[in-house]
Amino acid sequence: MPSPLVLRGLELLLVLAAIAGAVDVWWQTGTFERRLSADAKRRRRLLSLSQMNPPSVDALREAWLDEQRHGLDQMLARRADGLPPAATPQTEGSAMDQSAGFCWTEPIQTTRLMARPFRDGDEAFLLDLLSRPEVVRWLYEPVQTAADIAASMAARRRRTQLRAPGDGLQLLLCDTPEGRPVGHVSLHWLEGPHLQGEVGFIVHPDFQGRGYATEGAELMLAIGFGAVGLHRIVGRLEARNAASARVLEHLGMRREAHLQENEWVKGEWQDEVVYALLDREWAGRREPAPPSRPSRPTGGGAG
Ligand SMILES: CC(C)(COP(=O)(O)OP(=O)(O)OC[C@H]1O[C@@H](n2cnc3c(N)ncnc32)[C@H](O)[C@@H]1OP(=O)(O)O)[C@@H](O)C(=O)NCCC(=O)NCCS
């Protein structure tokens, strides 16, 4: 028969174990709730960003940084729980699976421009733009006719969302407050699981040299990196397209490749140059340099 002292000791140990268990349950529940509420907060923020009109470039950048911090928290939490890193850390918890996707149907305001999806009535501007040989000189498309523009309108109007690889966003740029169409910008989410995108831009010769392509493309980068969660965005151009190269350099993109005569376009072998920017470089870099001049003379700026 154990002595009363030993029994008291055992009793005390049992009480201490019960208290420790209760504290553990309380702590785990608290941690879980804290994680849940942080998650809910993030989710609400991403959703409101995706619906924000206009989405601010700074807010998108801040959300991206938040995503990275959250990803790191998740990784550390998994490690603490003895779990391996998530299989797809770059998409887990990203904008892709936190919302119904990103779809813009309303105008977006940038510093000097308003960007909106295409709609009926934009054909006249597109014809004026794309029927000019100097504008399409370095594009794959030939000079466009009214019939070409009409045939492309349905596809242009559909390019309003970036929900999955293969999707494209194409927005008409208008100056403000005048509201005149000045060009368009696009972002294509490239096929495959690699979170890659491609930016594109065209500005009407009457409005070139004012930094509009840079400003519109900057919005595309903010949407691609900040809202959609792409990892790398490229800009591809014919090597002689000096104006396009300048725009991509203004955006802080890195010249990564010069492919010699890799494409047969418009009856000749053409060189292709590739510029690229990573999400972390976008988040860390300074704003692009403002345009150096108020305006440039009209005429072919594409190289
Ligand atoms: C490329 C394009 C969109 C640029 O539009 P934009 O609104 O004039 O661009 P920005 O004002 O933001 O910047 C243009 C830069 O190119 C420079 N540039 C313009 N024409 C140039 C030329 N012929 N040679 C060298 N640089 C030129 C400008 O000086 C400016 O650089 P800077 O600010 O350092 O001086 C426009 O020229 C265009 O629509 N070209 C035809 C379509 C096209 O080629 N699109 C790109 C396909 S890859």
Question: Would you state the pLDDT for residue 57?
Answer: 62
| Contact residues of ligand 1, CB 6 A cut-off | 135, 138-139, 201-203, 208-214, 237, 241-244, 246-247, 291-292, 301-303
Token pair for 62: 């801040």
CA of 221 to the centre of ligand 1 (A): 18
Residue 53, CA distances (Å) to 6, 106, 175, 212 in order: 71, 7, 17, 20
Identity of the residue numbered 143: V
pLDDT at residue 172, as a whole number: 98
> 107 preceded by cis ω (within 30°)?
no
Superfamily of chain region 100-284: Gcn5-related N-acetyltransferase (GNAT) (3.40.630.30)
Q: Output the pLDDT for position 49.
A: 52
Ligand 1 pocket test, candidate residues 244, 253, 292, most atoms within 8 A of CB: 244
Q: What is the DSSP letter of 160?
A: B
Structure tokens at 194: 């690699």
Is 141 in contact with 195 (CB distance < 8 Å)? Answer: no
- Positions of the chain with pLDDT under 50: 47, 50-51, 53-54, 85, 87-101, 290-303
According to DSSP, residue 42 is labeled H
Give the pLDDT confidence score for residue 227 in this predicted structure. 84
111-151 pLDDT, tens per residue?
A: 999 999 999 999 999 999 999 999 999 999 999 999 999 99
What pLDDT does 106 receive?
A: 83
Structure confidence at residue 54 (pLDDT): 47
| Integer Rg of the chain from CA | 26
pLDDT at 34: 56
Ligand 1 atom at minimum distance from 138 CA: 44
